[in-house]
Amino acid sequence: MALPWSDIITSVLVIGTLYLLVRWFSKRASSTPNTGIRGVNLSMVETVKSAFPDIPAPNIIYSLSKTRSAQATSEEILERGFLPNPPASFEVPSSLLPPSSTQPVPSSAQSKSDASSKPQQSLIERYGLSSQLPTRKGKEREHVGDEDASGQAGPVQEASQRQSSTGGKWEDTKEKREMDLRQRKEKMILEARRRMLEKQAQAEATAGNTEQPTES
Domain extent for 158:
124-207
Percent of the chain with pLDDT over 70: 55
Q: Which of 57, 86, 115 is the last residue of a domain?
A: 86
Q: How many domains does the chain have?
A: 2
- Per-residue confidence (pLDDT) for residue 66, from 0 to 100: 92
- The reply to whether 43 falls in a domain is yes
Whether the per-residue pLDDT at 60 is higher than 90: the answer is yes
Instruction: Note the pLDDT tens digit of each residue in 125-178.
Output: 666 666 666 554 444 444 444 444 444 444 445 544 554 454 455 667 777 777
CB-neighbour burial class of residue 127 (10 A; exposed 0-12, middle 13-18, buried 19+):
middle
- The reply to whether 91 falls in a domain is no
Minimum mean pLDDT range among 38-42, 83-87, 182-186: 182-186
Q: What is the CATH number of the domain that holds 79?
A: 1.10.8.10
Q: Do 141 and 154 contact (CB within 8 A), yes or no?
A: no
pTM value is: 0.43
Instruction: Note the pLDDT tens digit of each residue in 41-57.
Output: 888 898 888 878 888 99
- The reply to whether 29 falls in a domain is no
Same domain membership, residue 192 and residue 136: yes
Question: What average pLDDT does this structure show over 178-185?
Answer: 75
